[in-house]
């Protein structure tokens, strides 16, 4: 199998080179048939198994139509119960990024396993009728079993791509599978084989590389690690899981790096770049492929039959089943989240209908009865799902806690597993600058460790860590982990040196050297989409810290945490050494292994990492991938210094290429100012919208006034005072409509950081506007009344609540609209989109 994968990797590279010459730039034809020449001819590695097919035939022949349809449906554990599985005979459940037993992000491993047992028992219970068909439990184990407290957290894929080590990838897959099985799941939603082409994309860090060759070399290895090697005794045994190569197809190529957008390329380019990981994943026996949210040349992939059926299952002979992504079928034209026969007809075998599962089941059953979904297509989908369940041995396995490693919680974060992750951290680090040979450091030095990423496992681990966005975690959530500071302190102390931590760099005794650890805050999916490659626009705190330490005569080593390359010229210039550390995960000590010498002065570990993504010369350099026309990065693909190299770097230009002040994506009001292109207004029924450009300001009748107040900085918030004389509102109006369709498909909230400065005696409406006669609003009164007065808190309302209240979230013009008819005082310091776990109070959608 290894040789087959190597041959396919080489074939992908050769095919890409040949097609590059004939692909027409800018062409965007409709999808072609399965036998179109660009698609590789892949050999499915599992031979026909007549005994297995006979078992499937017998079971399929005994199943009712209702039972068949049930196998096609996957619900999320936050919206489904074991009793629902027992009644509807569903095929699968998943734990989404914010879904946990009991709704607790820090649920114990034992609670996860007990829940897995409960769902399995429900699927096998025939006391109310139906067939005993074991359920599949899937989870986003994307950098280790990263939803579970105590699990080993590997670097995110962007860091793993810098290693160029497929053998280590295979071992990472093995550990991920083992720790996933410990907690009861049999299905990991990975590997991600996207080939990101625009670093503004919020999922760029989920890709191994901008290079299809690197992705192809990793895809098969990771699948083998997760599943075991086809033909071996450990293939799909109790220590392995089924993999899901994702997201098919073109997720990394959307225009502007917009998550779930459109990838407009000719078919040869689509295959050469974006399909590169699938031949090797299929050759390794990947049991599932996940369909992508995005469109290809205007056609949503969840409804794209020429690609899902003809190319994937036909030309590439994929022998597993195709699963959807989170309500992705609902984006197919003519479909809704709870009604989409077209997705099944296009080739989707199992729909991920997390909170829409019941409606989807009912409408799919009706479509099957009506013949809208034909019997042959339905049986093919069910057969594919059953085939995977039989291959996995689920019918004989017993409940999750009784399987090979079920409940062996000592395997979570086991020392051997952490050692593999620590090696991955060491090999992922990329040295971009080393002026004066400042690195490696003698551990006997007095070392200052500063920056907000230095002592924060959550920040160094990024998104998809215990929850979807990876935010709101605490140190105690990571019992089997080391922060970067902890790793440095341990090694320095053991060698006779010392390490002092000060997040702001204010030391007690002047150090010999400072290591400043800083970078992007955690994010996931579209929450991480950015308009350009500026780093924290408008916030120079990290740069100021580096400059201050340098001005005090202290050499500075910068360790940059990020999910993508960004324009960092100013920070690189200000540093003596600069290390791209990506998102290293739980093993922060792996960074000390490389930065610090041994006690005897010899090098512990040299840098091995090489850029798997080209580093931008400017913040507007979006087309910056190796092989593209006019390729001119600051640091080329494959760049990475070693200690033996001359690490001197001349001062870099500090012109970003971006004119004017920039606002962060998804932030509507912060630091006392509305976002660019947005106006802050006061209004009531008797007075047209009045711009609030100076402070203080009030409507003519005094029904609403606004003044500047302090939260984290001078006058960075606004106090709103309603007199109660008549209804009045405070709003932010944009010149351009905001499409929040993606954000409303899940748990994204409109969040206000506010302080209640008075009693709340009547409804307080938080709403959005979407044009003339188009709006939706939710009453905040119960949530506000429950908050302690005089304290700053984050209150969130799921965007889907506004949609349910009548707003068209695809064209929002006013976000937010805050209205009261009664006397009220509220102070607001920030309005932004945020994740569920970032709010101290969440307002539930009202029943309608």
Catalytic residues: 325, 525
Cis peptide bond prior to 127, omega within 30° of 0: no
Distances (CA, A) of 744 to 590, 738, 773: 39, 12, 20
Distance of CA 132 to the CA centre of its chain: 35
From first CA to last CA, the distance across the chain in angstroms is 56
Beta-strand pair 351-352/556-561: unpaired
* Count of CA atoms in the C-beta half-sphere (13 A) of 349: 27
Can you tell me whether residue 227 is helix, strand or coil?
Answer: helix
Beta-strand pair 295-296/299-300: antiparallel
Q: Which residues contact 268 (CB under 8 A, 6 or more apart)?
A: 19, 20, 22, 23, 38
- Characterize 766-775 residue by residue with b for buried, 16 or more Cβ atoms within 10 angstroms of its Cβ, and e for exposed: bbbbbeeeeb
Length of the chain: 848
Q: Name the packing angle between helices 50-62 and 375-391 (round to 10°).
A: 130
Asked if residue 400 lies in contact with residue 120, where contact means CB atoms within 8 angstroms, the answer is yes
Beta-strand pair 775-779/513-519: unpaired
Distances (CA, A) of 524 to 202, 243, 495: 6, 21, 39
Question: Which DSSP category does 130 fall into?
Answer: S
Rounded to an integer, what distance in angstroms lies between the CA atom of residue 287 and that of residue 243? 6
Asked if residue 591 lies in contact with residue 425, where contact means CB atoms within 8 angstroms, the answer is yes
Rounded to an integer, what distance in angstroms lies between the CA atom of residue 636 and that of residue 656? 18
Asked if residue 634 lies in contact with residue 615, where contact means CB atoms within 8 angstroms, the answer is yes
Structure tokens at 284: 């390794």
The closest of 91, 179, 101 to 135, measured between CA atoms, is: 91
Can you tell me whether residue 792 is helix, strand or coil?
Answer: strand
Strand order in the sheet with 728-738: 687-691, 678-684, 728-738, 812-820, 764-769, 775-779
Cis peptide bond prior to 247, omega within 30° of 0: yes
| 518: β partners | 560
Distances (CA, A) of 181 to 112, 145, 265, 779: 11, 9, 39, 43
């Amino acid at each position: 199998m290894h040789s087959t994968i190597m041959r396919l990797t080489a074939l992908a590279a050769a095919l890409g080179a040949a097609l590059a010459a004939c692909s027409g730039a800018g062409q965007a034809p409709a999808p072609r048939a399965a036998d179109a020449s660009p698609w590789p001819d892949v050999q499915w590695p599992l031979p026909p198994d007549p005994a297995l097919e006979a078992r499937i035939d017998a079971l399929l022949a005994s199943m009712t139509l209702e039972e068949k349809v049930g196998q096609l449906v996957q619900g999320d554990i936050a919206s489904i119960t074991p009793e629902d599985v027992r009644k509807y005979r569903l095929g699968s459940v998943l734990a989404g990024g914010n879904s946990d037993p009991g709704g607790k992000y820090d649920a114990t491993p034992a609670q996860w396993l007990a829940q897995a047992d409960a769902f399995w028992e429900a699927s096998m219970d025939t006391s109310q009728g139906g067939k005993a068909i074991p359920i599949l439990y899937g989870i986003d184990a994307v950098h280790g079993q990263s939803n579970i407290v105590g699990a080993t957290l590997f670097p995110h894929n962007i860091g793993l791509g810098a290693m160029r080590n497929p053998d280590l990838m295979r071992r990472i897959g093995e550990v991920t599978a083992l720790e996933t099985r410990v907690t009861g799941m049999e299905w990991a939603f990975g590997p991600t084989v996207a080939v990101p082409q625009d670093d503004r994309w919020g999922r760029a860090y989920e890709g191994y590389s901008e290079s299809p060759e690197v992705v192809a070399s990793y895809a098969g290895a990771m699948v083998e690690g997760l599943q075991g090697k086809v033909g071996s005794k450990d293939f799909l045994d109790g220590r392995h899981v089924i993999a899901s190569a994702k997201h098919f197809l073109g997720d990394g190529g959307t225009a502007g790096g917009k998550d779930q957008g459109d990838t407009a390329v000719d078919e040869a380019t689509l295959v050469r770049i974006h399909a590169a990981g699938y031949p090797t994943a299929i050759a390794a026996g990947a049991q599932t492929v996940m369909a992508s949210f995005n469109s290809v040349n205007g056609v949503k992939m969840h409804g794209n039959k020429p690609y899902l059926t003809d190319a994937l299952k036909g030309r590439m002979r994929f022998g597993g089943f195709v699963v959807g992504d989170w309500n992705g079928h609902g984006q197919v034209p003519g479909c809704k989240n709870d009604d989409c026969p077209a997705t099944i007809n296009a080739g989707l075998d199992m729909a991920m209908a997390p909170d829409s599962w019941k409606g989807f089941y009912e409408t799919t059953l009706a479509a099957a009865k009506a013949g809208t979904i034909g019997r042959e297509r339905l049986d093919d989908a069910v057969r594919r799902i059953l085939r995977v369940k039989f291959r996995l041995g689920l019918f004989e396995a017993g409940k999750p806690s009784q399987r090979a490693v079920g409940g062996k919680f000592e395997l979570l974060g086991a020392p051997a597993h952490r050692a593999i992750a620590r090696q991955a951290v060491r090999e992922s680090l990329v040295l971009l600058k080393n002026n004066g040979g400042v690195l490696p450091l003698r551990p006997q030095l007095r070392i200052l460790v500063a920056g907000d990423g230095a002592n924060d496992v959550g920040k160094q681990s990024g998104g998809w860590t215990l929850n979807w966005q990876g935010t709101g975690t605490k140190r105690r959530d990571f019992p089997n982990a080391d922060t970067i500071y902890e790793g440095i302190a341990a090694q320095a102390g053991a060698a006779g040196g010392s390490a002092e931590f000060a997040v702001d760099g204010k030391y007690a005794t002047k150090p010999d050297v400072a290591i400043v650890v800083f970078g992007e805050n955690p994010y996931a999916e579209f929450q991480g989409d950015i308009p350009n490659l500026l780093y924290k626009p408008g916030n120079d705190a990290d740069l100021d810290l580096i400059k201050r330490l340098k001005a005090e005569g202290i050499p500075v080593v910068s360790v940059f945490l990020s999910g993508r390359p960004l324009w960092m010229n100013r920070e690189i210039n200000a540093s003596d050494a600069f290390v791209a550390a990506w998102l290293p995960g739980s093993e922060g000590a792996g960074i000390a292994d490389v930065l610090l010498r041994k006690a005897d002065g010899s090098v512990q570990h040299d840098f091995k990492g090489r850029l798997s993504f080209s580093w931008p010369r400017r913040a507007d350099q979006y087309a910056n991938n190796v092989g593209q026309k006019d390729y001119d990065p600051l640091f080329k693909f494959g760049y990475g210094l070693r200690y033996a190299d001359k690490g001197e770097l001349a001062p870099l230009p500090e012109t970003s290429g971006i004119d004017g002040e920039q606002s962060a994506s998804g932030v509507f009001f912060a630091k006392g100012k509305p976002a660019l292109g947005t106006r802050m207004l006061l209004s009531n029924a008797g007075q047209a919208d009045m711009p609030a450009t100076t402070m203080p300001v009030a409507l003519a009748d005094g029904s609403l006034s606004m003044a500047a107040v302090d939260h984290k900085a001078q006058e960075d918030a606004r106090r709103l005072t309603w007199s109660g004389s008549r209804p009045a509102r405070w709003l932010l109006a944009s010149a351009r409509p905001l499409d929040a369709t993606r954000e409303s498909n899940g748990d994204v909230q409109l969040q206000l950081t506010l302080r209640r400065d008075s009693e709340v005696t009547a409804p307080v409406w938080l709403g959005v506007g979407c044009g003339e006669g188009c709006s939706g609003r939710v009453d905040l009164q119960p949530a506000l009344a429950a908050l302690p007065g005089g304290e700053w808190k984050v209150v969130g309302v799921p965007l889907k609540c506004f949609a349910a209240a009548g707003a068209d979230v695809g064209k929002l013009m006013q976000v937010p609209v805050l209205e009261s008819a009664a006397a009220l005082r509220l102070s607001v310091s920030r309005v932004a989109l945020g994740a569920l776990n970032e709010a101290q109070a969440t307002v539930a959608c009202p029943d309608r």
